[in-house]
Amino acid sequence: MIGPLLAVLLAVLAAAAALVVKLQGLGRARDTIIAVVRAIVQLAAVSLVIGFVLRSLWLTAAFLIVMVAIGGATSAKRITGSLKPRSWWAVVPILSGLLPALALILASTVVPLHPVAVLPSAGILIGGAMTATSLAGRRTADELHTRRGEYEAALSIGLMRRDAVILVARPAAALALIPGMDQTRTVGLVTLPGAFVGVLLAGASPWQAGATQVLVLVALLLVQAIAVAVTVELIAAGLLPAGEEILPE
């Protein structure tokens, strides 16, 4: 599978995606190319170190901390546009969603406390929390911008900043839950997600693969719900700087 043909296929797919983005005005085409290059480089690097990381739970825990930090930085850039000191509050929603869900999963012993099981499970949850945090943060900032008048009106009738932000932005932030919800509703009918395919390829039965995928999807619903709720609260409290320039106290 790895060879010149794969390289050509990746180049064609990336170029086609970038072309569509450019022609339809969906953003900067170079961002698509940069994302593809980063994915290739990062996965190559991870492939080199993953065997070493999986030798112990301590190394696995350290690797997960790095994943959370990178996820927080990614969400922070999406929400605030840059990595300001206070932007690192974006790590909090990710951890708030990850820790209780992962603790429940490991405490149940459904997923064994072994690096080869913990790392991919936690990685999926971190990715889901990051996506929910980014989407909720951006939707909150955009909604506060477009509905600034309603926000100011809420303040004028005596509402506190937190209550005004939540009143205006929470319904929009909740849209961040739609991708995970739709994936859960259509699993097996529209998509066969990675956990299911991975367990099958590892030699498990279809029943075991299905059970693993259901566990991951349900855990993701909890992780993302918490991440969205915490993101909105952090913005409402003024801790996570999203749209602060349009939020008079």
Specify whether 88 is located in the same domain as 179: yes
One domain for residues 91 and 162: yes
Q: Choose the weakest-confidence range: 74-83, 176-185, 197-206.
A: 197-206
For the cut 80, the answer to whether the pLDDT of residue 198 exceeds it is: no
Asked whether residue 153 falls in the same domain as residue 213, the answer is yes
> Does 151 share its domain with 42?
no
Q: Are residues 4 and 96 in the same domain?
A: no
The reply to whether 215 and 166 lie within a common domain is yes
Same domain, 48 and 63: no
What's the chain's Rg over C-alpha atoms? 20
Question: In angstroms, how far is the first alpha carbon of the chain from the final one?
Answer: 58
- 43 with 71, same domain: the answer is no
pLDDT at residue 81, rounded to an integer = 75
CA-CA distance, 239 to 216, in Å (whole number)?
A: 30
Cα distance between residue 105 and residue 231, in whole Å: 23
C-alpha dihedral (33, 68, 137, 128), degrees to nearest 10: 80
**Which band of pLDDT confidence, cut at 50, 70 and 90, is reported for residue 246?**
very low
Token readout for 163 is 């209550």
Q: Tell me what the mean pLDDT of segment 71-87 comes to.
A: 82
How far is 138 from 222, CA to CA, in rounded Å? Answer: 20
Indicate whether 225 and 145 sit together in one domain.
yes
Q: In the structure encoding, which two tokens stand for residue 104, read together? A: 């429940």
> Of 12, 38, 53, which marks where a domain is finished?
53
Look at residue 219 and tell me whether its pLDDT is greater than 60.
Answer: yes
Q: Which two tokens stand for residue 67?
A: 């994943």
* Number of domains forming the structure of the chain: 2
Residue 150, amino acid: E
Q: How far apart are CA 161 and CA 30, in angstroms?
A: 39
* 107 and 225 fall within a common domain: yes
Alpha carbon 205 to chain centroid, angstroms:
29
> For residue 140, which of 178, 166, 177 has the smallest C-alpha distance?
166
Determine the 3-state secondary structure of 183 from DSSP.
helix
Asked if pLDDT for residue 9 goes beyond 70, the answer is yes
Same domain as 86, residue 43: no
**Same-domain pairing of 47 and 80:** no
Burial class (CB in 10 A: 0-12, 13-18, 19+), 7: exposed
Q: What is the mean pLDDT of the chain?
A: 83
As a whole number of angstroms, the distance between CA 199 and CA 204 comes to 6
pLDDT higher at 117 or 60: 60
pTM value?
0.81
Closest CA to 115 of 50, 199, 197: 50
Question: Closest Cα to residue 165, out of 141, 136, 190, 196?
Answer: 141
pLDDT digits (tens, 9 = 90+) for 37-52: 998 888 888 878 877 8
For 126-174, the pLDDT digits (tens) are: 999 999 999 999 888 888 888 888 888 888 887 888 888 888 888 888 8
Pick from 4-8, 28-32, 117-121, 191-195: least confident: 191-195
User: Residue 226 sits in which domain range?
Assistant: 56-246
Half-sphere exposure of 186 (CA within 13 A, CB side): 8
Give the confidence band of 208 by pLDDT, cuts at 50, 70, 90: low
Report which of residues 20 and 114 the model is more confident about: 20
**Rounded mean pLDDT, 81-87:** 74
Q: What is the pLDDT of residues 12-22, one digit of tens each?
A: 999 999 999 98
Q: How far apart are CA 171 and CA 139, in angstroms?
A: 9
